Amino acid sequence: MQKYAYLILICAIFIFDRWTKELIVERLPYLTSVPVTDFLNIVHARNYGGAFGFLSESPIGKYVLLFIPIAITVGLVVYLVAGRMPASLRTALCAVLGGAIGNLYDRLSFGYVIDFIDVYYRGYHWPAFNVADSAITLGIVGWLYLHLFSSSSSRE
């Protein structure tokens, strides 16, 4: 039963990511932005590269950015199904998996990832990101925290 709860978490991240991206595509023209606060805009951007636009100009980038997320997704699924781990680690990895599936869906469907969260300070903008990116980041931070600050017995 508990494994179904993790499946629900993965699906919830994917569905929330898709829903927010659909809202952006339907309601905000491409390359426009709406100010929210003094440090946050909602934008409609497309990322043809990896994290922060990595490999967006490379001719093989498209293939690399399909193969790596597929390999990570398959690896995470196998590890989550076969591995024994504490609930906290499983939750962190499910967040990474849910986000990876969300961005992989975009890349397979459109050839790019839809980004819409623009955080900035004065004229310095962090690259735009989305719900899937946030889930991946939080999952990796959780995984790192568990490995760096948990006793080895609690990770077994």
Q: 20 near 130, Cβ under 8 Å?
A: yes
Of residues 17, 106, 118, 133, which has the active-site annotation?
Answer: 133
Question: Residue 118 catalytic?
Answer: no
Alpha-carbon span 3 to 124, nearest angstrom: 42
Is position 133 annotated as part of the catalytic site? yes
- Which of these is catalytic: 17, 106, 115, 118? 115
Name, in order, each residue with C-beta under 8 angstroms of 155's C-beta and a sequence gap of 6 or more: 85, 86, 89, 146, 147
Residue 59 to residue 47: CA distance in whole angstroms: 15
Residues acting as catalytic residues: 115, 133
